[in-house]
């Protein structure tokens, strides 16, 4: 089992604030797991008894609607932490975390997290900062969902995906999503998402290389996302 002190992924999250002593302690209690593509790491409505730190891999956070449709709330990748919201609010898990590709994840028991929150002020502050930032993003998202037309939201989402996942060696957004998943992110029907992607391609704003998407005119896409 690897040691948390040596793990460099933690520099991207609140665990970077832990002392060597705290890291040793957590190392002893943590477990590592592999989540295969399509599998759930967390499930909506369940209790959670620890914090997950994603070492590697991409995933989606989703919510199942009353009509049975999936809504993608957020994308996750290596360096992200999960489960702290539920632990801190003492509520059940609110979202499903599903692997988009195989993920390596570490699990740290709740007790250790709570102990560290009590002992290490920098850790508390870092967690608060993380959640506060997420809340701000969520509020922006509410506004955009409520007021922007589907085309604008699609443009916004493509820019956002490139921001999070970067591009591969051909310049394509480096995450493989089905058209349905794109639709479930922007909140529209799959056919509508497909149609709008085709339009963006026709207008020379993006390229569709199989399932992969390449943003060929970022400025145009930005304008579209802002309603021009």
Partner DNA sequence: GAAATAAAATGATTTTTATCATATTTTAAA
Partner DNA sequence: TTTAAAATATGATAAAAATCATTTTATTTC
By the criterion CB under 8 A, which residues form the site for a second copy? 63, 65-67, 69, 71, 73, 84-86, 88-91, 94-95, 117-118, 121, 124-125, 127-129, 131-136, 138-148, 186-187, 226-227
Tokens 């295969």 correspond to 36
CB-nearer residue toward a second copy: 125 or 209: 125
Sign of CA dihedral 194, 65, 165, 178: negative
C-alpha dihedral, 15 to 133 to 167 to 100, nearest 10°: 70
| Tokens of residue 8, six digits | 């460099």
In the complex, the smallest distance separating the C-beta of residue 71 from a second copy, rounded to whole angstroms, is 4
In the complex, the smallest distance separating the C-beta of residue 76 from a second copy, rounded to whole angstroms, is 13
Query: In whole angstroms, what separates CA 169 from the centre of its chain?
Result: 22
In the complex, the smallest distance separating the C-beta of residue 155 from DNA, rounded to whole angstroms, is 12
Q: Is 101 in the site for DNA (CB under 7 A)?
A: no
What distance separates the 2 farthest-apart alpha carbons in the chain?
Answer: 57
# residues contacting DNA (CB under 7 A) = 19
Query: Which does residue 65 bind out of DNA, a second copy, none, counting CB within 5 to 8 angstroms by kind?
Result: a second copy
Binding residue for DNA (CB under 7 A) from 46, 89, 178, 204? 178
Q: Whats the size of the chain, residue-wise? A: 228
Task: Give, as ranges, the residues between 192 and 221 that touch DNA (CB under 7 A).
Answer: 192, 194-195, 197-198, 208, 210-211
CB-nearer residue toward a second copy: 103 or 186: 186
Closest CA to 78 of 61, 96, 59: 59
- Specify whether the CB–CB gap between 44 and 142 falls below 8 A: no
- Specify whether the CB–CB gap between 179 and 191 falls below 8 A: no
Task: Give, as ranges, the residues between 130 and 159 that touch DNA (CB under 7 A).
Answer: 149-151
Query: Which does residue 191 bind out of a second copy, DNA, none, counting CB within 5 to 8 angstroms by kind?
Result: DNA
Output the CA–CA distances (angstroms, integers) from residue 139 to 70, 133, 145, 187, in the order listed: 20, 10, 10, 16
Q: Is 188 in the site for DNA (CB under 7 A)?
A: yes
- Residues within the interface to DNA (CB under 7 A): 149-151, 178-180, 187-192, 194-195, 197-198, 208, 210-211
């Amino acid at each position: 089992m690897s040691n948390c002190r040596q793990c460099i992924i933690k520099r991207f999250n609140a665990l970077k604030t832990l002392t060597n002593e705290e890291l040793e302690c957590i190392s002893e209690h943590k477990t590592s797991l592999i989540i295969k593509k399509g599998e759930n790491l967390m499930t909506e409505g369940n209790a959670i008894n620890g914090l997950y730190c994603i070492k590697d891999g991409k995933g989606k956070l989703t919510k199942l609607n009353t009509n049975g449709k999936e809504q993608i709330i957020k994308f996750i990748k290596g360096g992200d932490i999960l489960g702290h919201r539920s632990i801190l609010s003492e509520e059940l898990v609110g979202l499903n975390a599903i692997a988009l590709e195989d993920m390596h994840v570490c699990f740290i028991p709740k007790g250790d997290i709570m102990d560290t929150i009590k002992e290490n002020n920098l850790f508390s502050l870092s967690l608060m900062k993380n959640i506060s930032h997420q809340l701000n993003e969520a509020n922006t998202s509410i506004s955009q969902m409520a007021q922007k037309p589907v085309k604008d939201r699609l443009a916004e989402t493509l820019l956002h995906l490139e921001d999070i996942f970067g591009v591969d060696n051909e310049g394509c957004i480096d995450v493989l999503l089905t058209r349905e998943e794109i639709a479930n992110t922007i909140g529209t029907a799959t056919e509508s998402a497909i149609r709008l992607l085709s339009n963006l391609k026709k207008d020379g704003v993006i390229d569709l290389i199989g399932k992969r998407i390449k943003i060929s005119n970022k400025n145009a896409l930005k304008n579209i996302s802002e309603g021009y």
